[in-house]
Amino acid sequence: MKGKGFLQLLIVLLVVGAIAFVSVVGIGEEKSGSMSDVKLGLDLAGGVSITYQTVKEDPTSAELNDTVYKMQKRAEGFSTEAEVYPEGNNRITVAIPDVTDADSVLEKLGSAGNIYFIYGKGPDGVANISYNADGSAKLARSIDDIIADGDLVIDGSDILDAQPKMYQDQYSGTQYVVDLSFNSEGTSKFATATSYAYNASSGSLENVIAIVYDGEVVSAPGVSSVISEGQAQIRGQSDYNESNVLATTIRVGALPLELSVLRYYVEGAQLGANALDTSLIAGAIGIGLIILFMIIMYRIPGLAASIALLFYVGCMIVCLNLFDVTLTLPGIAGIILSVGMAVDANVIIFTRIQEELGSGKTVRSSIKLGFNKALSAIIDGNITTIIAAIVLYILGSGTVKGFAQTLAIGIILSMITALFVTKFILNAFVKLGAEKVGCFGEKKGYKHMRIVENFPKFAAISGVVIVAGIVAIIINIVKIDAPFNYGLDFSGGTATTFTMDGALPSDINTTLDAKIRSELGISAVISTVEDSSMVTVRTKELSTDDRAKLTNIITSDYSVKQENITTESVGATVSGEMKKDALIAVIVATICMLIYIWFRFKNLSFGLSSVIALIHDVLVVITVYAIAKDVISVGNTFIACLLTIVGYSINATIVIFDRIRENMSEKLDKESVTDVVNKSISQTFTRSIYTSLTTLIMVVLLAIFGVSSVREFAIPLIAGIVAGGFSSVCIAGGIWHLFGKKKAKAEN
């Protein structure tokens, strides 16, 4: 038996070692799969920045904003963490993270000209296209004349999307096509055009609707049916690449404004060169402290969980490579949350094992029962979070998608790690002889807590905090005409660019940001250009005095002449549409979680109570942002912070509700609903404290070791974790008790 246990443990250690090797060193000549191969976002690694100028000299704000949003969707084809924002009145900047070949990005992104669908031969009988000797189509007359004569079918403003697809036809052959979708106006126009073309003789110019991009015919398909549903398909491409090129061309041209490239370059990390290093150091120390904590508190099970945690971290790095995820500061938040949930699952299991040992069962029997009884809480908690991640990825954009990716991967890995890897290791230790109760610890009872009776007091504490937040928001609106201190990501601002005579100091991001915070009292996003001495400082909109102060800092500290400093207004990187996408995604995710909890618990009260506790935690975090406006600004990480709290809160609450559900099914006649709720919270109290503590370890270390921007993110996250622990123990159960008590009375 000991030999089998030794073999199991050896297998695990070899697997963990192999994953660690792949994670740190990598495999193959290019060392793919290593930590150094993980894609990083603009904040951690920089990337390519391309600035376009509109061909139209004075576009409207609606045209500019619509173009920015569509360019954002296109840029996300390169990375979910791409940033697109307006610059001045007629420029748009696109930043693609963690790439260095600007020419390649520019080629794939396209020159953003206009796309037109035209009649091959109009109803007036005039031919608009002709054919070259090789059979390719070309314009027979100028596009301006074609439009003037009314032979334009649709233009880019009528197109919603174009995507390359491949499918098997009825003869088992592979067909490559482009799927098109139109808006309501485009649907009507295309239905009219295809009706005319379909009724023409096949093979004639009248049967053709040609696609023209930048004055060139890129495709001239014939019409085989009347298309009136707003969906069309272009067939006949020879391979997937040809379909992809055509689809990309159509998407690029489907912009409200025609754009021309003004400039492009490779910029450095926005948070500075040491931002990632300090975050990794904080993460490594945090994991080390968590391992120490787990071993001290849970002994042999804690050691098993620690080995499994190392397995999890290695797998996470490999998956970031495998799924081509771009890691940013919000992405790190998703990983932190999933690490906390990985530990949480183990704490739930080990607490159950100790309870079984306390009731007199053997170690082997306790391990089996502990895993079985913890299963429902772990699955329900993780699935609700995965549901949220999926919805956020589908409906969100930009940072929201990146957060959802890392969170989903982390949750799935943590669940596998806790339920299978930890169990495998634990059984190996038992076979090696660790069968004494002292190796596991036992829990013979619990301190009975009177949570329900004190619920009004806890609710009053929460009420005071939330009211303080409301008051702070009102004061902020009066003083600064905004509820929060909005950062550049949300409100836009000023971009100040300068070029130094010599080489850039390696710590310019950190030192310049610190000086701006000291002199102007605001934060800044600082970008450097690779192989150049150019620096761009993005801040909120500066007053005349603040501009003078910033200019003085640059001229005095970096010996830059005033004529080498330029200033330009820039728009928000988080557009109104992205904010709307994020809000819709969160609302839909919350509804989906509510439905799942309702389905699993067979009781709507559990779902409603979970959502109320979730809203409580979000309001507490918003309070922190409002009160600490001079220290923390609302930017890109604001969305990630709130999403992290949503995931953390719902998971913490479900663990307690799972125990309430179990105890309600076993409720004795003499027990009241109040007794059951108090008992359930008391039984899970240790788990609630330990999980909050281990998650806090990671975030507090980020606040201690991280650069200023990382600290801005970590501080409200700390408040959210504390609020999540408080609400799950003191608020959620009390709210459910109100529903449960009413139900119990109704049943009696």
Angstrom distance (rounded) from CA 723 to CA 488: 27
- Sign for the CA dihedral angle at 657, 663, 668, 674 comes to negative
Decide if domain 39-112 falls under CATH 3.30.70.3400: yes
Torsion angle (degrees, nearest 10) of CA 624, 626, 631, 635: 100
Quick check: 420 pLDDT over 50? yes
Instruction: Let me know the angle formed at the C-alpha of 18 by 16 and 22, rounded to the nearest 5 degrees.
Output: 115
DSSP secondary structure code for residue 543 in this structure: P
Tokens of 697: 């370890």
> Which residues make up the CATH 3.30.1360 domain(s) of the chain?
115-254
Angstrom distance (rounded) from CA 212 to CA 146: 11
Q: Which residue has the higher pLDDT, 62 or 129?
A: 129
Q: Which long-range contacts (CB under 8 A, 24 or more apart) does 120-124 make?
A: 120/197, 120/204, 120/205, 120/206, 120/207, 120/208, 120/209, 120/210, 120/220, 121/204, 121/205, 121/206, 121/208, 122/146, 122/149, 122/150, 122/151, 123/196, 124/149, 124/150, 124/151
β-sheet with 493-499: strand ranges across:
259-267, 47-54, 91-97, 83-87, 565-570, 493-499, 534-539, 525-528
Report yes or no: 328 and 41 within 8 Å, Cβ to Cβ.
yes
What pLDDT, on the 0 to 100 scale, is given for residue 667? 72
pLDDT tens column, 286-345: 888 888 988 988 889 989 988 988 888 888 888 888 887 777 766 676 677 667 667 878
The greatest distance separating any two alpha carbons of the chain, rounded to the nearest whole angstrom, comes to: 94
Q: 708-726 and 508-520 are packed helices; what angle lies between their axes, rounded to 10 degrees?
A: 70
Pairing assessment for the beta strands 115-119 and 47-54 based on DSSP bridges: unpaired
pLDDT tens column, 718-743: 888 899 889 989 999 899 888 866 55
Residue with token string 């250690």: 13
DSSP secondary structure code for residue 421 in this structure: I
> Which residues make up the CATH 3.30.70.3400 domain(s) of the chain?
39-112, 493-570
Angstrom distance (rounded) from CA 635 to CA 488: 7
pLDDT tens column, 435-460: 888 888 777 767 788 888 999 999 99
Angstrom distance (rounded) from CA 399 to CA 408: 14
In whole angstroms, how large is the CA radius of gyration of the chain?
Answer: 30
Q: 399-416 and 576-601 are packed helices; what angle lies between their axes, rounded to 10 degrees?
A: 30
pLDDT tens column, 675-686: 888 988 998 888
Quick check: 162 pLDDT over 80? yes
Report yes or no: 685 and 666 within 8 Å, Cβ to Cβ.
no
Angstrom distance (rounded) from CA 195 to CA 224: 10
- Sign for the CA dihedral angle at 537, 81, 336, 281 comes to negative
Report yes or no: 96 and 79 within 8 Å, Cβ to Cβ.
yes
pLDDT tens column, 588-603: 888 888 888 888 888 8
Nearest to residue 716, comparing CAs of 330, 276, 147, 187?
330
pLDDT tens column, 354-406: 888 888 888 889 889 989 988 888 888 888 888 888 887 887 766 677 777 88
Tokens of 731: 């608020």
Residue 640: which residues within 8 A CB-CB, separation 6 or more?
329, 330, 333, 334, 399, 400, 403, 713
Angstrom distance (rounded) from CA 130 to CA 193: 19
Nearest to residue 183, comparing CAs of 212, 155, 223, 214?
155
Tokens of 498: 């300068």
Report yes or no: 469 and 622 within 8 Å, Cβ to Cβ.
yes
Report yes or no: 278 and 706 within 8 Å, Cβ to Cβ.
yes
Nearest to residue 642, comparing CAs of 601, 614, 600?
614
What pLDDT, on the 0 to 100 scale, is given for residue 268? 66
The whole-chain average pLDDT of the chain stands at 81
Tokens of 682: 């008391």
End-to-end CA distance of the chain: 55
Angstrom distance (rounded) from CA 550 to CA 522: 11
pTM beyond 0.85, yes or no: no
**Alpha helices by DSSP H, 149-232:** 184-198
What pLDDT, on the 0 to 100 scale, is given for residue 270? 62
β-sheet with 115-119: strand ranges across:
152-155, 115-119, 209-213, 216-219
Residue 379's SS3 state is helix
pLDDT tens column, 24-60: 666 655 555 666 677 777 767 777 888 888 888 888 8
Burial of 183 (0-12, 13-18, 19+ CB in 10 A): middle
Decide if domain 455-470+575-747 falls under CATH 1.20.1640.10: yes
Report yes or no: 495 and 267 within 8 Å, Cβ to Cβ.
no
Determine what percent of the chain is predicted with pLDDT higher than 70.
88
Report yes or no: 624 and 719 within 8 Å, Cβ to Cβ.
yes
Angstrom distance (rounded) from CA 476 to CA 499: 37
Angstrom distance (rounded) from CA 714 to CA 337: 12
Quick check: 258 pLDDT over 90? no
Tell me, what amino acid is at 709? Answer: S
Quick check: 748 pLDDT over 50? no
- Range of lowest pLDDT (80-89, 430-439, 475-484, 701-710): 701-710
CATH of 493-570, one of 3.40.50.1000, 3.40.50.300, 3.30.70.3400, 3.40.50.720: 3.30.70.3400
The residues pairing with 287 across neighbouring beta strands, listed in sequence order, are: none
- Range of lowest pLDDT (327-336, 666-675, 695-704): 327-336
Q: Which residue has the higher pLDDT, 573 or 18?
A: 18
Nearest to residue 287, comparing CAs of 703, 710, 698?
698
Residue 133's SS3 state is coil
Q: How far is CA 673 from CA 21, 446, 453, 660, 739, in A?
A: 53, 18, 12, 9, 10
DSSP string, 677-718: HHHHHHHHHHHHHHHHHHHHHHHHHHHHHS-HHHHHHHHHHH
Q: Report the CATH number of the 115-254 domain.
A: 3.30.1360
Kindly indicate the confidence band of residue 747, based on its pLDDT and cuts at 50, 70 and 90.
very low
- Sign for the CA dihedral angle at 76, 82, 86, 88 comes to negative
Tell me, what amino acid is at 200? Answer: A
pLDDT tens column, 224-245: 888 988 899 998 888 888 888 8
